[in-house]
Amino acid sequence: MELTNTSLIVALLTLLNPFIIGLIYLNFKPKATLSESVRDGVTVCVGSTLIMLILIGTGTKLLDFLGVDLLSIQVAGGIILTLSVHKMMNAPSSDNEQQAEDVPSGRSVVSPFVTPICVGGASISLLFSYISQIPALTLSVFINLGSSVFIVFLIVGLFLPLSVLFFKRINEGILAAVKSVSLFIVFSIGIGILLSALPKIVAQQAQ
């Protein structure tokens, strides 16, 4: 896997799916104003980027300190992503509407948007899979990876005000169909993460 900005950006955007995050934001804050959504977008971008920069700076040393290997992070991330998307795919729309009405105005988006949606097990596992292939974490590598995650979370953050501007005007039936397809794609990514870990697990057990 080539360590370039483009490859990491594409991988993270495919995993996170800004369109789905925009739809989740509308469910989370159905009455959000444009100015509020802009503030929330900045919070998501800055908060997620800072956490990822810390993870890039510490590298796999953090995993060694915690006594956790990359394979465990990969499996945990795949399970969390698959189960969370499966729950969203099977949640009745009436339940989502009731939860949205119960959400107080001005609620922080740090949870769940910064973590675990943007910075969760799956995205951390993906980042560490890139870091583990780097011989040495130089300043240029740090800037390379840091700029990649910033661009990704900037795009994700932009989709919050974009969802307020445009998604509310789209027919609910069309949005529901697009959401179902997008969730299925992300669900497939979660399954793919788990399946890719199976050969490594078998190899470890064989040793």
Between residues 107 and 52, the one the model is more confident about: 52
**In this prediction, what percent of the chain has a pLDDT beyond 90?**
25
Kindly report the pTM of this predicted structure. 0.78
Whether residue 151 is predicted with pLDDT greater than 80 in this model: the reply is yes
* Signed CA dihedral, 29, 109, 4, 146: sign only: positive
- Judge whether 136 and 3 are in contact, CB under 8 Å: no
Paired tokens of 198: 């199976």
Q: Which domain holds residue 72?
A: 5-206
DSSP secondary structure code for residue 120 in this structure: S
- For the segment 81-96, the average pLDDT, to the nearest whole number, is 68
Neighbours of 40 (CB within 10 A): 24
Give me the pLDDT at residue 98, please: 53
Mean pLDDT of the chain: 81
Give me the pLDDT at residue 1, please: 40
Rounding to the nearest 10 degrees, give the CA dihedral for residues 142, 144, 148, 150: 50
Q: How far apart are CA 146 and CA 52, in angstroms?
A: 8
Q: How confident is the model at residue 3 (pLDDT cuts 50, 70, 90)?
A: very low
Q: How many domains does the chain have?
A: 1
Whether residue 124 is predicted with pLDDT greater than 60 in this model: the reply is yes
CA distances from 161 to 29, 35, 114, 170 (A): 11, 8, 16, 15
* Signed CA dihedral, 137, 140, 145, 149: sign only: positive
Between residues 172 and 161, the one the model is more confident about: 161
Burial, 96: exposed, middle or buried (Cβ in 10 Å; 0-12, 13-18, 19+)?
middle
- For the segment 6-17, the average pLDDT, to the nearest whole number, is 89
Paired tokens of 138: 């130089």
What amino acid occupies position 204? Q
pLDDT (tens digit, 9 = 90+) per residue, 178-201? Answer: 777 777 877 787 788 788 878 888
Whether residue 105 is predicted with pLDDT greater than 60 in this model: the reply is no
- Judge whether 27 and 168 are in contact, CB under 8 Å: no
Q: Which residues have a Cβ under 8 Å from the Cβ of 44 and sit 6 or more positions away?
A: 109, 113, 114, 118, 153, 156, 157, 160
State yes or no: cis peptide before 116, omega within 30 of 0. yes
Give me the pLDDT at residue 160, please: 95
pLDDT (tens digit, 9 = 90+) per residue, 16-51? Answer: 889 888 888 887 888 889 999 999 999 999 999 999
